[in-house]
Copies of this chain bind each other. A is one copy, B any other.
């Protein structure tokens, strides 16, 4: 049993879902393990991780619009010094998650047919987001 750790930096161009399945899978497969556990960790409080449908891009449009409505910029926030999109970003992060773990089975991530891994950027301006990948297995 052994561990491998890696960090990727994901550029975002404002609010929205950025698929990261390919770089994550690429790194995992390069470690040559047959079974294990991958943990993906987002080192931020205004961006999060999501497993979602990777087929119809309309799903992403609806998800983005939904989170825009459920944690609106128009709400009255005490914390408003970092811009109107900052506190909604913290809330959207709380409603989703900054961490995901996915088993590795027979050399492949156990993602379902329609599952993609997404970074969910909640701020309006472009950012670079640091994502830690931790793989444990043999």
Q: Which residues of A contact B (CB under 8 A)?
A: 1-3, 5, 35-37, 39, 41, 43-45, 50-53, 56, 58-59, 61-63, 66, 70-71, 75, 77-79, 81, 87, 90-91, 93-103, 105, 110-115, 130, 132, 134, 136-138
Distance from A48 Cβ to chain B, minimum over Cβ atoms (Å): 9
A59 near B90: Cβ-Cβ < 8 Å: yes
A-B contact pairs, 24 of them (CB 8 A): A3-B138, A5-B35, A37-B37, A37-B134, A39-B103, A43-B112, A43-B113, A43-B115, A45-B53, A51-B93, A53-B90, A59-B79, A61-B78, A62-B79, A62-B87, A63-B90, A66-B75, A95-B96, A97-B97, A98-B115, A101-B101, A105-B132, A110-B132, A136-B136
Distance from A85 Cβ to chain B, minimum over Cβ atoms (Å): 13
A105 near B45: Cβ-Cβ < 8 Å: no
* Alpha-carbon distance A128/B87, docked complex (angstroms): 29
Which residue of B39, B97, B111 is within 8 Å of A43 (Cβ)? Answer: B111
Given contacts A62-B78, A79-B61, A87-B62, contact A35 B3 (CB under 8 A): yes
Q: Which residues of B contact A70 (CB under 8 A)?
A: 70
